[in-house]
Structure 1
Amino acid sequence: MLIYGLQHVLVMYAGAIAVPLVIGKTVGFTNEQIIMLISTDLFICGCGTILQSIGIGNWIGSRLPIVQGCTFAALIPMGLIGQQYGIGGISGAVIIAGLFTVICAPLVCKLVRFFPKVVMGTIVTLIGLSILPVAGGWIGGGNIASPDFGNYSSLLMALFTLAVIMLIYIFGKGMWKNIAVLIGIAVGTVVYSLFHGFDWQQVSNTGWMTFPSPMYFARPQFHLMPAVLMSMVMIVVMVETMSSMMAMGEIVERPADKDTLRRGLLACGSATFVGGLFNMFPYAAFAQNVGLVSMTGVRSRFIVGTAGCILIVMGLFPKLAALVVAVPKPVLGGAGIVMFGMVAVSGIRTLGKVDFQNNNNPMVVALTLGLGMLPVLVPQIFQHVPSTAGMFLHSGITIGTAVAIIANLLLNAEKKPNKPAVIPGCDECEVEK
């Protein structure tokens, strides 16, 4: 159980630490604060995973082998909230979003038909494309304002890390292939240290053990617009989690019915609510772990519960987080291209199952990607709008979500079939109008 549980942790670890790393830098945290942020995140990830996989009776938890982690869907919106309101504003919005999820879970699990594959595939693709600039910033060295940004050394290290990941992914098998990103980060860090040295001071100055505490960084601040923005994002997170639950249900031969989906969403909302109290972020099912269960055939939810216990233990030892913070930014950038790119690939894979013939699905995808990518490609395009509206418009994910849902409802509205006309005096004859 420990070995298989550790395998789940290794598969999701790189993705789990990416969100707190990015948000910590966005809100101006010091390295010490980011270390605590990552440790607390791992702790909450573990608690959320146990809640989802083991569950609490018949009330909360899908009781499927699902790992919970920070969702990339909320990355850009949280960055916008953090720039204006700080970590307190993010926490308040996450708390409200968690409550929103818990309240809406019974309703949302009945509205799956409003989120067909064309909507979800396009939104997930947009999420992956929207966060790729973060990896680009890491590749250049992390600080865009620095005169050394984009120097040859940074570019070469990012390329070397990416090459290591690709080689392992191509020639590795089983677990080695699944942890190619982690191995690439480790090898890239070692090679970078040979030429530039490695700063061990941060690691040595960090204590061996700590225990996460609520509101460690700031007291939650509640503002209307951030709360609405994060609640919109949670709609995407809920549908994303339901998709993972339905896929996992098929893998373990226990189809996820409405009751299972409701309990799973309650676990997702509860983890998000508690995460907000700890100044953390929204949590969702990690799709890469769904693929791992399918590949290995190890379908026990208690294995995933063990993975949750391992994550909790890792969250209690901040030196592990200190090692992550010390990883050179170009190395993280090379790995980030793969991590964030795979999010987009997940959406493209879903779009591959969509029928684009003789329907309006191509227009739904075109509108969603076209409008959703505007803030990413031209960040200044909404600079003159009021700040409250700008918080929505500067996030391509929220724009894309709204556009995808509305465009699908308008363009793919189900037309009621014409009723057949019955010829008087002929009970068996029917002629369509």
Structure 2
Amino acid sequence: MKTRLKTHPSTPVHPVDEILPASKLAVYGFQHVLAFYAGAVIVPILLANAIGLSTEQLIHLINADLFTCGIASIIQSVGFWKVGVRLPLLQGVTFTAVSPMIAIGMAAGGGTDGLLVIYGAVIVAGLATFLIAPFFSRLIRFFPPVVTGSVITIIGLALLPVAAADATGGAGPTSDPTSGRNLAYALGTLALIVVIQRVFKGFMATVAVLIGLVVGTVVAWAFGDAHFGAVEQSAWLGVTTPFHFGWPQFSFAAIVSMIVVMLITAVETTGDVFATGEIVEKRVGREDIARALRADGLATSLGGVLNSFPYTCFAENVGLVRLTRVKSRWVVASAGLIMMLIGLVPKAGAVVAGIPHPVLGGAALAMFATVAVVGFQTLGKVDFHDHRNVVIVASSVGLAMYVTAQPQVAQAVPSWAEIIFGSGITLGSLTAIVLNIVFHHIGKDFGPAVAGFPGDSVRLDQVNKMSRDQFVETFAGLFQGPRWMVERAWAERPFADTHALRRAFQQALFSGSTDEQRQLIESYPELGSRLVADGLTGEASLRDQSSRGLTHLAEPDQDELAALTEAYRERFGFPLVISVRDSDSLDRILAEGRERLDNCETQEHAAALIEIAKIAGHRFDDYLREANPIHSARTPWSSKR
């Protein structure tokens, strides 16, 4: 006797965990490396120049940086135990650490002596980050969409000047904003990426950035603006060994400074993890943040051992994930492997380093801007009728752009504060976090104002405490006639925000019986009725219909509208209900009414309910405007009289 085995459909693999063919992993990974390379090597270059290291020592730092970046990226994307967030996040040296490391190095005498003190601080700060990761992750409740959206937006906007600097030839003496060639290379690369994204689908669209970089570099080389002379001078093999410059030295002041750097970096990493989670559509929880921070800490300590620096999730490559829509974390792992190989083969690194700055800048403009777009999408979940959220976003983004546009501001504050004011990402992120705590977690939470009345307004916490009669009296004006919808909405208390309150009215409206809904529809006045113009049907109806001039029509228009509404009532037995605020003219209202005459009664019953929901939505917006005078001044509406 045969036994039939019950088969279960295999669990679908999330795009993040999908293992692509080796050829695609190599191509996509190399694209990440090219997009990442300039940002990866800038920190050792800046540090070496500042503390007086030789060219040979600088080359070793770059190789060590790339090699350790590869290891760190594999740890973060592949993960093991409770280390690594297992998202397509590439690791790089944090810019936040540049100024503190230079200060530490110079205080220790510069050169390799200063470098050893830096490495001592880096190793200890990495261990501290690893240990505090689970405690920091418990603060996730302080990162609602208003904070994460602000931080992600700030990351994207603050990185755009970096891309712009590359587009003009690179920061420093090589920069030439007036160069037509630089402009042509940057815009040409950007235009090619856009054209590929528009014309092609599938694989070609996902490697648009890589193609843009390669084609841009070839064109620049043909015109003599891309140079690969360093390839000949570079060695084939260069292995970084632990403690290459000597045993690390430990200074208490340096360690404290570097721990502060890592705490600030933890905020940036949290923002990057949330941004990537949004892009790949994977929920980010407390344990994910802890995993990401443990990976940061481990990679940072490893960096101190392998002659590199503090590591964090690299925001530059978050934009590439969004732009290409390739969500597999194994792509980042392959990029990590490629970086390790480049770190071992200086000649390969020299080839990548030959990409002209304007070409790289053109591609970076697209990638960094897409990070900001992810921030906009996150902010779309925020209740901006709550003016507190407006203040949080405006203040954090404003301060971030202030220090990004005027970096010299950092010189006006005490040395201990330079680490904060020296980075728009750091200052903006901390501002968003602190203001969110001040407005939403300290003191009594009154909630946003949701309804305004002469000399007074009603706040959300008051709404949640209202009796049914008080609630109905406050919000009955959203509808005409019967009040059962408002009574049923009251039963849904408490409301978390204005969105929840609005949804409660909509759900109540469509939950009514057919008879209840019919009674409600029949309570709405005829369009253009003299009763409306005289204010006898209520101020809300007068406001609705006067917004499109229906209360003072010329006689021919009045007769045409009256003939339509009479024909409609004869056909269906109830008045023609149209949300006139959604129509731009009388002609459009008349055209819509005539079209609906051909419908059946059941269809028109449903259509009328939808129009009533739209009308209630506009009236709810009126309540919010009257309750928030600043918002009202900012958002004009055509029905103001």
Shared fold (TM-score, shorter chain, > 0.5) = yes
Match 1:139 to one of 157, 167, 172: 167
**1:209–1:318: 8 Å Cα contact kept in structure 2?**
yes
**1:90–1:279: 8 Å Cα contact kept in structure 2?**
no
Question: Which residue number corresponds to residue 236 of structure 1?
Answer: 267
TM-score (norm 2): 0.56
**1:232–1:398: 8 Å Cα contact kept in structure 2?**
no
Sequence identity, in percent? Answer: 33
Give me the whole-angstrom Cα distance separating, in 2, the residues matched to 1:149 and 1:378. Answer: 18
Note the alpha carbon deviations across 1:302-345, whole angstroms, 9 max, x for none: 77655544443343222221012222222222223223333323
Give me the whole-angstrom Cα distance separating, in 1, the residues matched to 2:124 and 2:206. Answer: 35
Structure 1: which 5+ residue stretches go unaligned? 423-429
Aligned-partner SS, 1:109? helix
Shift of 1:211: 1.8
Question: Which residue number corresponds to residue 334 of structure 1?
Answer: 362
Note the alpha carbon deviations across 1:25-78, whole angstroms, 9 max, x for none: 43337876666555434432332343344444x34345x35443227xx32x23
**1:118–1:365: 8 Å Cα contact kept in structure 2?**
yes
Question: Which residue number corresponds to residue 284 of structure 1?
Answer: 313
Equivalenced residue count is 413
Match 1:68 to one of 70, 90, 93: 90
1:99 and 2:127 aligned: yes
Question: Which residue number corresponds to residue 354 of structure 1?
Answer: 382
1:48 and 2:72 aligned: yes
1:9 and 2:29 aligned: yes
**1:211–1:316: 8 Å Cα contact kept in structure 2?**
yes
Question: Which residue number corresponds to residue 115 of structure 1?
Answer: 143
> Structure 1 307/146 Cα, relative in aligned 2: closer, same or farther at 3 Å?
closer
Q: Tell me how large the CA RMSD over aligned residues is.
A: 3.7
**2:217–2:355: 8 Å Cα contact kept in structure 1?**
yes
Give me the whole-angstrom Cα distance separating, in 2, the residues matched to 1:310 and 1:104. Answer: 31
**1:355–1:361: 8 Å Cα contact kept in structure 2?**
yes
**2:33–2:338: 8 Å Cα contact kept in structure 1?**
no
Shift of 1:90: 6.1
Question: Which residue number corresponds to residue 426 of structure 1?
Answer: none
Question: Which residue number corresponds to residue 80 of structure 1?
Answer: 99
**2:122–2:310: 8 Å Cα contact kept in structure 1?**
yes
Alignment of 1:311-326 (within 5 A): 311-326=339-354
Aligned-partner SS, 1:283? strand
Question: Which residue number corresponds to residue 160 of structure 1?
Answer: 188
> Structure 1 206/406 Cα, relative in aligned 2: closer, same or farther at 3 Å?
same
Tell which deviates more after alignment, 171-180 or 88-97.
88-97
Counterpart residue identity of residue 371, structure 1: L
> Structure 1 236/322 Cα, relative in aligned 2: closer, same or farther at 3 Å?
same
Give me the whole-angstrom Cα distance separating, in 2, the residues matched to 1:163 and 1:304. Answer: 26
**1:123–1:397: 8 Å Cα contact kept in structure 2?**
yes
Shift of 1:187: 1.3
Note the alpha carbon deviations across 1:151-173, whole angstroms, 9 max, x for none: 22222222222222222232232
Match 1:227 to one of 223, 248, 258: 258
Higher relative contact order (CA 8 A, sep 6+): 1
**1:109–1:258: 8 Å Cα contact kept in structure 2?**
yes
> Structure 1 258/404 Cα, relative in aligned 2: closer, same or farther at 3 Å?
closer
Note the alpha carbon deviations across 1:171-205, whole angstroms, 9 max, x for none: 23233323322222221111112222543320111
> Structure 1 394/195 Cα, relative in aligned 2: closer, same or farther at 3 Å?
same
1:21 and 2:41 aligned: yes
From the CA coordinates, give the structure whose radius of gyration is larger: 2
Question: Which residue number corresponds to residue 425 of structure 1?
Answer: none
Question: Which residue number corresponds to residue 171 of structure 1?
Answer: 199
Counterpart residue identity of residue 48, structure 1: A
Match 1:195 to one of 201, 218, 223: 223
> Structure 1 215/17 Cα, relative in aligned 2: closer, same or farther at 3 Å?
farther
Structure 2: which 5+ residue stretches go unaligned? 1-20, 106-113, 447-460, 468-490, 494-641
Give me the whole-angstrom Cα distance separating, in 1, the residues matched to 2:134 and 2:265. Answer: 14
Aligned-partner SS, 2:313? strand
